[in-house]
Amino acid sequence: MANQTLKNKKIIISAGASGIGLATVKVCLDRGATVFVSDINEKYINKLKKNSKINKKLFVFNCDASDEYQVNELFEKIKKKTSKIDCLINNVGIAGPTATIENISTDDWENTMRVNVFSHYYFTRLAIPMLKKNKGGSIINISSGAGIMGFPLRSPYAASKWAIVGMTKTLSMELGKFKIRVNALCPGTIKGDRMIRVAKDKAKLLRVSKKSIEKEFISMASMNCWIYESDIGKMCGFLISDDAARVSGQVIGVDGDAIRLH
Ligand SMILES: NC(=O)c1ccc[n+]([C@@H]2O[C@H](COP(=O)([O-])OP(=O)(O)OC[C@H]3O[C@@H](n4cnc5c(N)ncnc54)[C@H](O)[C@@H]3O)[C@@H](O)[C@H]2O)c1
């Protein structure tokens, strides 16, 4: 699946200034695409703006993906640069709290849903007319292993990621006739900043060492491995490319064969 060209493709990605999003932006740029990246973190945004392709093939915007008004404004800005797009990648998603459900506050629950689910709705409904104008394209929703399995101590996260799978399955059926493909990716345990944070929280809660939590994370895949951010970027590259022209409605694990989540 190496190196499908993304030449002339125009791609919008949420939360693309670090992590999985950034790895995906790099794959898209390397393969010739033009990428419109939004993120909430000014520090990451400024770092990305140093990329040599800035304002040529790379456009970066500050936008809280969970804020309807800001997402509307973002699309107004993007539409000044292009009326059509080939792909939307709904990547934004926060880990949410690590706790048993009776210890999760309404605020934490609501915030997880707002960032992980409402954001996808805000982006998707504005991207669809641009994809239709393009006479087809692709929507990639980043779900999680927690969108196909239970995930103890992470109930709002799991609920939000199952919601993304439901949206994917429904939208692929609604949009197939417009040649708009909709797929969900379920990353496994990524070796990156987020997992370091999650492992620390879980170790504290269970009063065990961070190392033992990390070992347990890796053993959740039959391949006994971490997943890398670039693995997700490369799978996005395939799904955007014409090689995936007839792949839609799929929920695809990039997880080293995840066999359990705890
Ligand atoms: N990291 C993992 O192990 C893992 C596993 C499975 C699924 N996922 C999913 O993959 C996606 C990306 O994960 P990640 O680990 O790269 O994330 P991350 O926590 O590293 O954050 C990536 C980016 O999201 C931005 N962001 C956070 N809230 C935002 C908001 N409201 N609006 C705009 N930008 C915002 C941050 O500034 C950051 O640049 C998420 O949907 C996540 O749930 C991650």
Contact 255, 188 (CB under 8 A): yes
Contacts of 42 (CB under 8 A, 6+ apart): 62
Ligand 1 closest atom vs CA 17: 39
pLDDT at 198: 79
- In the chain, the N- to C-terminal Cα span, in Å, equals 31
C-alpha 177 – ligand 1 centre gap (Å) = 31
pLDDT in the model for residue 23: 98
Q: Tell me, what's the pLDDT at 193?
A: 80
Q: What residues flank ligand 1, with Cβ below 6 Å?
A: 15, 17-21, 39-41, 44, 64-66, 91-94, 115, 142, 144, 187, 189-190, 192-195
Using the mean position of ligand 1's atoms as its centre, give its distance from the Cα of residue 203 in Å: 21
Burial group, residue 69, by CB count within 10 angstroms (0-12, 13-18, 19+)? exposed
Single out the catalytic residue among 69, 121, 157, 228.
157
Strand partners, 61: 38
CB burial of residue 68 (10 Å; 0-12, 13-18, 19+): middle
122 flagged as catalytic: no
- Residue-level pLDDT at 1: 46
Ligand 1: nearest atom to the Cα of 95 = 43
Homologous superfamily of the 10-189+228-254 domain (CATH)? NAD(P)-binding Rossmann-like Domain (3.40.50.720)
- The residues of the chain scoring below 50 in pLDDT are 1
* pLDDT the model gives residue 196: 85
**Coil, strand or helix at 114:** helix
Q: Which amino acid is at 192?
A: G
Q: 236 and 185 in contact (C-beta within 8 Å)? A: yes
Containing 27, the helix (H) or strand (E) segment is: helix 19-30
Give 205 Cα–ligand 1 centroid separation in angstroms: 22
Q: For residue 44, give the ligand 1 atom closest to its CA.
A: 39
Look at residue 3 in the predicted model and tell me its pLDDT: 61
Cα 250 to ligand 1 centre (Å): 21
The helix (run of H) or strand (run of E) holding residue 140 is strand 137-142
Ligand 1 probe mutation, 18, 20, 66, 149, most atoms within 8 A of CB: 20
